[in-house]
Amino acid sequence: MEKNSNILNRLDWLTVLLWGTMMIMGWLNIYAAVYNEEYTSIFDMSQRYGKQLLFIVAALVLAIFVLVTDNKLYYFFAWFIYGMFVFLLLLVLVVGKEINGAKAWFEFGPFGLQPSEFAKFATGLALASYLNSKRQALGFRTMATATSIIMVPVILIAIQPDMGSVITYFAFFIVLFREGMSIYVFISALLAVILFLLTLIFGTVPVALGLIILSFAALWIFIRNSQVLMALGVMAGAGALSYLAGHYIFGAGLDLIIVFSVMLSGAIYAWYLYRYRLKMAVIIYSFLLGGILYLFTVDYAFHEILKPHQQTRINIMLGMEDDPYGTGYNLNQSLISIGSGGFAGKGYLNGTQTKFKFVPEQSTDFIFCTVGEEWGFVGSVVVIGLFVLLLLRLVMLAERQRTTFVRAYGYGVFALFLVHFFVNIGMTIGVMPVIGIPLPFFSYGGSSLWGFTILLFVFLRLDAGRAEYLG
Amino acid sequence: MKDRFANRKYFIMALAIAAAVILILRLFYIQIIDKTYRTSAANNVLRHVTQYPARGLVYDRNGELIVYNQAAYDLLVVPVQTSAFDTARFNEILGISMKDFRDRMKAAVTYSRRAPSVFMKMISSETYGFLQEELYKFPGFYVQARTLRKYTRPVGAHLLGYVGEVDDKLIAQDRYYRSGDYIGVSGIEKSYEEHLRGKKGVNIFLVDVHNNIKGSYADSRFDTTSVPGSNLWSTIDLGLQEYGERLMRNKTGSIVAIEPSTGEILALVSSPSYDPSLLVGRVRSSNFTRLQADTVKPLFDRALMASYPPGSTFKMMNGLIGLEEGVIRPTSLFGCSMGYHAGSLTVGCHSHNSPLDLPGAVMNSCNAWFCNAFRSILENKGYNSIQEAYDRWREYLVAFGFGNKLGIDLPNELSGFIPTRSYYDRYYGKDRWKALTVISLAIGQGEIGATPLQMANMATVIANRGSFYIPHIVKKIGEDGGPSSVFSQKYTTGISAENFEPIIEGMEGAVNGGPGATARGARLDSIIICGKTGTAQNPHGKDHSIFVAFAPRDNPQIAIAVYVENAGFGSTFAAPIASLMIEEYLTGKIKRQYLEDYVLKVVIAPDGKEQ
Ligand SMILES: [Zn+2]
């Protein structure tokens, strides 16, 4: 009994409060999203908001259950829990129910459970446990092992296939970064992901141009020298000239500028290197060259090597072509509803776009549309603010840990929330491609709510017990 | 221990803040700066009007139109946009009662107050004309153009299939479809749905409270245009199809005619049939219920979905397999004394010359001859056991397309049934059965079942002397398209061409021969038809009459299988019908008026009584 009250005293109530607030806000928005005059009671169990209330109550019970368990359990059984979920991910491939083309669900009567939502917590534990045993400064072998801990569930989920969930697992690289992964490896990986997504959204040419400009900006930051501005000017001029010449004289496309610019900037960098013997210029230029090469490889691989039906399949896996009315329909609907919210929103239950059933998956992946339409810019900023608060609080909590185990796990929780938060809201407003992953605590669905609740509360339980000796 | 990476927390926190800043900047842009996303005034609403593309047309093999579209209109209502209006005038235009009006309005409100729902489906062009003029008086109502299927002739219902509304289950599975959309439910409409349907588009309009369209939303930036469906060119000869359906009127059964050199289906008749326009538009559901309840099952496609024992037509298979296995020769003689006798077992036969060689046995359809041949196949010393020989025998049949779906481009094809070795093992005990146990297979009776399509395919293989293409119903998808590539793949059956000659000689004799020929009713003066009669045993009533044939003997143009249920021997009706079909297709003119009259006059009730 005394131990329990001890936990209540040490529990981080701010996080609990944020968790509760988000769940209630999510619930109210689900009610608004599927609101129908015929079923006005928010407690109607035949409707999604009624079911979500049940899920919330169950999440409360889960949270309490996690809090009363011994925190050593998570430490000692990390690998067992991981193994169990890997097994469940295997099992779901065999006996799972196929929904929207992915074998991702166990079916229990009217309810379905998605093991991939819970496997995130298990992966976080196993990764933390492994890093704890290795101390700091991750060498190549430690990195490789840590990566394979992440890749086992990733591969199993990719087979389902549920590309949305796969992408969220890459969040764990933030944990590796915090625990000492080489900064160059991390930035390369981050750039690779960002470039990949940008290339798919905007195409190669604008992204390559952006890269060139960025590299000059970086050069300017690191080597404060007016020569950089000069070089930029020369390059812009050369680019414009080559465009005009290419377009009007040779009838070539924008690709020519890229090639020309890369060559030109290469020459300028070479000169810099010669003049100042600067290491930074080499690094930046390698990043630029590598980036552009990677970009065209992705684009070439996608358009030239893959057959059209394979391209379509990848687009569908990325959720980018699940689109009955033509390119970008879902996104347009989403933009219209959020954009029409304006500054203050249309008011609760007064949204029209989401009620028209124009926005697909409005209570699950596109729940933010309801927020944007009915609560406007103000409400959207409040929701984003809540997430930022939660994320920063998680970093704080992680940093006050005495063991690598709890800290690494905490960063895992942080990273997953960050990716879900950014990708989900980003996709509704056209910053991210349409990738079907839920918004934590907001989206309709038991699996994701419970998965996130367990993820968070295991960390809170470990944090509450930070004074105790672990392992 | 000093944590030398502790400073990285700042970078990580910056990531979170950067993410938030990106999102907030973007939201600021779309919610506050960019006005296009906002409706210009509070009372303006967006209306999404789906542009339904015209469904592809269907032509026959000669380019004659079979299926086309007719405009129809759905009247939609958005309940929250309605306000008081002259309901009496409204009802007068639509020809509905006040109670009807209230019921429809209530249904629309129940679906959603804010989303459009169909108030009245498929109103005619005339009504639409009147309504359009006065639509401004009825706020909240608007019209959406749809298309309905129309047929140039009331034939081909089974093969064309019909179009119906999508059900909720499919909407949940396939996001292309929305409630109220149409989809091919059977026949070509179903199997070529993705080609025929085209691609929907959507126009987004700004609409004021008076139901007036004020213009397109955001300069049509979010509009998509619809893409019409592809036209199809069927392999069907519409004239022959119609003639076949006429010949089969008042009879139950089916006709399948195939062009042997390509596998293209020339006619696919299932009788009783129905007028395909019965399943179009508002009358569809009531007509469907009526057709479904009909005891003669007009919706059932017998050509693909009925499996019968093939009877004597199957003897040719045993002849071919026996020759290929080398256990019989064309000149092999077997005697027949009114049947086949082995111990206590007797398979009866009719009286004819004896002994006979293979062509003679086909021509006279001698049961004893084929019992002997079948026994030789199974008791072949070249195999370790009867069972092993049986496996080989079955392999030949599978190569002909028996026992499996042929893979025609129509839904719901039946696979038929050729028992496997384990089937008999289960029945009689492992390897406890002999040739005599399964002797009924010699004459196409017993457990085996084949569809009329499979039998027509067998006639095709014989006509081609050993090969076939998968029978198919569509030869061209779109103006410049071809058929699916699976239909240009040639299949061989493992039986050499010369082994077909004695069988074909027998089939020629059966139609054109002297005394003893079983199908002389099918004879045509100008063209050599090769055919074989059969009778499918029917435990429920009078036997079914079967005839398979092809013509001309050299360079065949048509292979055909005809089934007439409850008509008795194959020679009575199936053979004349097949003969008339061949005459119609090859000469374009029927010279034997008496034969046509004889066929047309007969009415065979499902209980087998001629009337
Ligand atoms: Zn005989």
The predicted-structure confidence for A147-166, as pLDDT tens digits, reads as follows 899 999 988 888 877 777 88
Structural domain span for residue B14: 2-34
Residue of chain A minimizing CA distance to B5: A180
A1 band by pLDDT with thresholds 50, 70 and 90: very low
pLDDT of residue A269: 65
* Amino acid symbol at B183: I
Same domain, B253 and B143: no
Interchain proximity B20–A338, CB inside 8 Å: no
Return the SS3 of A279.
helix
Interchain proximity A429–B200, CB inside 8 Å: no
| Residue B291, domain member (yes or no) | no
Give the pair of three-digit tokens for residue A183.
């900064």
Same domain, B181 and B251: no
pLDDT of residue B122: 79
Residue B342, pLDDT > 90, answer no
| Residue B561, domain member (yes or no) | yes
Residues B279-305: tens digit of each pLDDT: 988 788 889 999 989 888 899 999 999
Angle at A91 between CA A88 and CA A94, to 5 degrees: 160
CATH of the domain at B93: 3.90.1310.10
Contact A199, A210 (CB under 8 A): no
Residues of chain B in contact with residue A421, where contact means CB-CB under 8 angstroms, are 19
Residues B195-212: tens digit of each pLDDT: 999 888 888 777 654 556
Residue of chain A minimizing CA distance to B114: A356
Give the pair of three-digit tokens for residue A407.
């800290």
3-state secondary structure B57-92: CEECCCCCEEEEEEEEEEEEECHHHCCCCCHHHHHH
The alpha carbon of B348 and the centre of ligand 1 are apart by a number of angstroms equal to: 8
Same domain, B336 and B216: no
Question: Is the Cβ of A358 closer than 8 Å to some Cβ of chain B?
Answer: yes
Give the integer Cα–Cα distance in Å for B347 and B340. Answer: 5
Q: Hey, how many other C-beta atoms are within 10 angstroms of the C-beta on B326?
A: 11
| Over residues B54-64, mean pLDDT | 93
Q: What percent of chain A has pLDDT above 70?
A: 70
A320-324, A422-426, B309-313: which has the minimum mean pLDDT?
A: A320-324
Same domain, B156 and B13: no
* Amino acid symbol at B436: L
| Residue B290, domain member (yes or no) | no
Return the SS3 of B351.
coil
* Residue with tokens 């290419």, as numbered in its chain: A246
Give the integer Cα–Cα distance in Å for B372 and B329. Answer: 12
- Measured in whole angstroms, the distance separating CA B188 from the mean position of its chain's CA atoms is 6
* Residue with tokens 């030949």, as numbered in its chain: B396
Give the integer Cα–Cα distance in Å for B407 and B415. Answer: 9
| Over residues A445-458, mean pLDDT | 92
Residues B369-380: tens digit of each pLDDT: 999 999 999 999
| Over residues B230-242, mean pLDDT | 95
Residue A284, pLDDT > 60, answer yes
Same domain, B249 and B380: yes
A297 band by pLDDT with thresholds 50, 70 and 90: confident
The alpha carbon of B369 and the centre of ligand 1 are apart by a number of angstroms equal to: 6
* CA proximity to A364, closest of A20, A55, A39: A55
| Over residues B125-139, mean pLDDT | 83
Residues B432-486: tens digit of each pLDDT: 898 889 999 999 998 899 999 999 999 999 999 999 999 999 999 988 777 778 8
Same domain, B247 and B224: no
Interchain proximity A388–B176, CB inside 8 Å: no
What average pLDDT does the structure give for chain A? 78
| Residue B280, domain member (yes or no) | no
- Measured in whole angstroms, the distance separating CA A87 from the mean position of its chain's CA atoms is 25
Give the integer Cα–Cα distance in Å for B197 and B192. Answer: 8
Angle at A229 between CA A226 and CA A235, to 5 degrees: 145
| Over residues A261-269, mean pLDDT | 66
pLDDT of residue A136: 56
Give the pair of three-digit tokens for residue B29.
């842009």
Question: In chain A, how long is the greatest CA-to-CA distance?
Answer: 85
Same domain, B330 and B226: no
Give the pair of three-digit tokens for residue A408.
């690494």
| Over residues A260-277, mean pLDDT | 66
Give the integer Cα–Cα distance in Å for A263 and A272. Answer: 14
Residue A470, pLDDT > 70, answer no
Give the pair of three-digit tokens for residue A41.
């009671």
A23-27, A33-37, B89-93, B238-242: which has the minimum mean pLDDT?
A: A33-37
Contact A117, A94 (CB under 8 A): no
Return the SS3 of A458.
helix
CATH of the domain at B318: 3.40.710.10
Nearest Cβ partner for A37 among B8, B9, B113: B113
Give the pair of three-digit tokens for residue A198.
């940008």
A22 band by pLDDT with thresholds 50, 70 and 90: very high
Burial annotation B463-500 (CB, 10 A radius, 16+ → b, else e):
bbbbbbbbbbbbbbbeeeeebbeebeeebebebeeebb
Give the integer Cα–Cα distance in Å for A132 and A136. Answer: 8
Report CA Rg, chain A. Answer: 25
Substitution target in B7, B34, B37 with the highest count of A β-carbons within 10 Å is B37
Give the integer Cα–Cα distance in Å for B403 and B419. Answer: 8
Query: How many domains is chain B built from?
Result: 3
Interchain proximity B46–A421, CB inside 8 Å: no
From the CA of A271, how many Å to the nearest CA of chain B?
Answer: 32
Give the integer Cα–Cα distance in Å for A362 and A358. Answer: 9
Number of C-alpha atoms within 13 angstroms, CB side, residue B243? Answer: 22
* CA proximity to A105, closest of A364, A353, A378, A446: A446
DSSP A245: I
B239 band by pLDDT with thresholds 50, 70 and 90: very high
Same domain, B249 and B128: no
Residues of chain A in contact with residue B198, where contact means CB-CB under 8 angstroms, are none
Same domain, B226 and B342: no
Give the integer Cα–Cα distance in Å for B448 and B427. Answer: 15
Residues of chain B in contact with residue A352, where contact means CB-CB under 8 angstroms, are 45-46, 114
Highest mean pLDDT: which of A327-341, A431-445, B17-31? B17-31
Interchain proximity B31–A355, CB inside 8 Å: no
Residues A338-357: tens digit of each pLDDT: 888 888 887 787 766 554 44
pTM of the model: 0.60
3-state secondary structure B251-285: CCEEEEEEECCCCEEEEEEEECCCCHHHHCHHHHH
Q: Hey, how many other C-beta atoms are within 10 angstroms of the C-beta on B121?
A: 15
Better-predicted residue by pLDDT, A303 or B296: B296
Residue B340, pLDDT > 70, answer yes
Same domain, B96 and B177: yes
Give the integer Cα–Cα distance in Å for B35 and A342. Answer: 9
Question: Is the Cβ of B200 closer than 8 Å to some Cβ of chain A?
Answer: yes
Residue A325, pLDDT > 50, answer no
A389 band by pLDDT with thresholds 50, 70 and 90: very high
Residues A90-130: tens digit of each pLDDT: 998 888 777 666 677 787 766 678 888 889 999 999 999 99
Q: What percent of chain B has pLDDT above 90?
A: 54
| Residue B325, domain member (yes or no) | yes
pLDDT of residue B344: 82
Give the integer Cα–Cα distance in Å for A292 and A160. Answer: 32
Q: Which of B217, B234, B251 finishes a domain?
A: B234
Give the integer Cα–Cα distance in Å for A288 and A286. Answer: 5
| Residue B160, domain member (yes or no) | yes
A:B CB pairs within 8 Å: 135
| Over residues B540-546, mean pLDDT | 87
Same domain, B323 and B370: yes
* Amino acid symbol at B544: H
Contact B522, B513 (CB under 8 A): no
* CA proximity to A319, closest of A214, A164, A463: A164
Give the integer Cα–Cα distance in Å for B611 and B606. Answer: 11
Give the pair of three-digit tokens for residue B107.
């249904």
Contact B207, B47 (CB under 8 A): yes
| Residue B558, domain member (yes or no) | yes
Same domain, B116 and B176: yes
